[in-house]
Amino acid sequence: MTRQRVREAAPLQVYLVRDERERLERLADQLDATKSDVIRRALLALEREMQSPASHPALRLIGIADAEKPGLAPVDAAREHDHAIVEGEETSWTAPAHPRTRGSAKGAKKRRAR
């Protein structure tokens, strides 16, 4: 018969400010776990994040704008963002103004007179 290793636990004292304590308590309630379990899970999550940055949700956004579209020339958005902004602004200057519809001025006068 093989012997199983017994998990050894050592006490840990952590000082938390009020909002950190409240966050820990809220997470423990939401996860139906002890505060110690929440801290253990947080350590595992942080360790995974440090080992594999690609698994971090925010870091997965890197490069999302680099996807090439068929039929379009590749654009370096980091270098050419000013050009895109200027182009959009200049387009708005040359866009035709929306003409008033017939009778809109008369309708406005009638509404004001009420």
pLDDT for residue 105 is more than 60: no
Output the CA–CA distances (angstroms, integers) from residue 110 to 99, 104, 106, in the order listed.
20, 10, 6
Tokens coding 12: 């840990």
Domain assignments of the chain as residue spans, ordered by start: 13-69+76-92
Structure confidence at residue 22 as a pLDDT band (50, 70, 90): very high
pLDDT per position as a tens digit, 71-95 = 556 667 677 777 777 777 777 777 6
pLDDT at 47 (0 to 100): 85
Please give the average per-residue pLDDT across 33-39, as a whole number.
95
pTM value surpassing 0.85: no
